[in-house]
Amino acid sequence: MLKLTHLQKNYPDFTLDCSMDIHPGMITGFIGPNGAGKTTTFKAVLGLISRDGGEIRLFGRQTPALSAQDKQRLGVALAETGFSGELTVPDVKKILGAFYQHFDPLLFQKRAVELALPMDKKIREFSTGMRAKLRVLSAICHGADLLILDEPTAGLDVLARDQILDMLRAYAEENENRSILISSHISSDLEQLCDDFYMISGGKIICHEETDRLLSDYALIKVSSQDYETLDRSHILRRQKESFGFSLLTDQKRFYAENYPNLVVEPVTMDAYIMIMLKGEAM
C-alpha cells in the first residue's frame, strides 16, 4: 500500500531517514517522541514538503508526486490542518462532496450526529475535541484505500477517543484491503487498534514489531546488580540502570520465566516499551 525506502529530509538541526512498509489490510502505528520525525514523514509522503532523497511507492508504484487519482484514494487527517473556522459541518459536507468522487453524504451525516457535532455552529466555535472528530470524519467518508492520520485522538476525552477508534475499526473491517497509518502519543489507543507499529527516534526507524507479539512475547525483567552478573543475557534487547539494579527488555519472556523462576518478569505495555527503547542501552 505504501513503501518508504530511505525517505530523506534534511534540516539544519534534523535529518530524516525513514523506511517502512504499510501492507494492505493492516493498521500500522507510528510512535516516537515529539520531534522524532513522524509529522515530517507524513508531510513528505503527501507532497506537502519536498524530499531530499529516497523512494516513495504508493499503491504499488513509484510516485514522484501525488496524482489526482492518488488523492482520491487517500484519507488524511493532520494535526496542524483543518477547515476554515467560518464554515459549518453542512458546509464541510458540500466541500467534500465536490472534491471526492465517492464521498458518502449519508454516512458523513450519520457519523456527525453520532459524534455530537453541532450543525449550526461555525468551526471556530468548536472545542479542540470537536475539530479533531471532524478531521477524522472527513478522512473516512469517501472510501479511501489508505488513511494517514497524525494524532487523531489528541485532545479527546475517553468516550470520544473510543468513538473515533470504533469508527476506524469499522472502516478497516468494511474492506479487507484498506490500510491505516496512524501516529499517536496515547499508547493504549495503538495497543487496541494496531496490527503492527514502527518506532522512530532522531529521524530513524529503530524498531518494527507486531503488536500481538509485543504484548505476548516481550517482558521487563527486574534484577539486582548481583543477579545481572549471572543472568543469561543472550535474549536481552535493552537495559536501563535502576536504583535496585537493572530493568531489562527481552522478546523471550517464556525463556526467562521458565529458567529464572525467582526473577521478576513483567508483561510489557507499549508505554513501558517506548520508555526503555528511548532511555535504555542497546545490548
- pLDDT tens readout for residues 35-51: 899 999 999 999 999 99
Strands ordered across the beta sheet of 245-250: 264-267, 219-224, 245-250, 236-242, 281-282
Per residue in 64-90, pLDDT tens?
A: 778 888 899 999 999 877 789 999 999
User: What tens digit of pLDDT does each residue of 239-255 get?
Assistant: 999 999 999 999 999 99
Beta bridge partners of 196: 28, 210
Q: For position 79, what pLDDT does the model report?
A: 80
Q: Using 50, 70 and 90 to split pLDDT, how confident is the model at 63?
A: confident
Number of residues that make up the chain: 283
Q: What's the rounded mean pLDDT across residues 112-129?
A: 92
C-alpha dihedral sign at 79, 84, 88, 91: negative
The CATH label, of 3.40.47.10, 1.10.3720.10, 3.30.360.10, 3.40.50.300, for the domain at 2-212 is 3.40.50.300
Band (pLDDT 50/70/90 cuts) for residue 232 is very high
Burial class (CB in 10 A: 0-12, 13-18, 19+), 220: buried
Percent of the chain with pLDDT over 70: 100
Mean pLDDT for the chain overall:
92
- What is the pLDDT at residue 155? 77
In this prediction, residue 157 carries a pLDDT of 86
Domain boundaries, given as residue ranges, for the chain: 2-212, 218-282
Whether 59 shows a pLDDT value over 80: the answer reads yes
Q: Tell me how far apart the alpha carbons of residues 51 and 19 are, in angstroms, rounded to a whole number.
A: 13
List alpha helices for 141-205, DSSP H: 158-174, 187-193
Q: Do 164 and 133 form a contact (C-beta atoms < 8 A)? A: yes
Q: For 163-208, write each residue's pLDDT tens digit.
A: 899 999 999 999 989 999 999 888 888 888 999 999 999 999 999 9
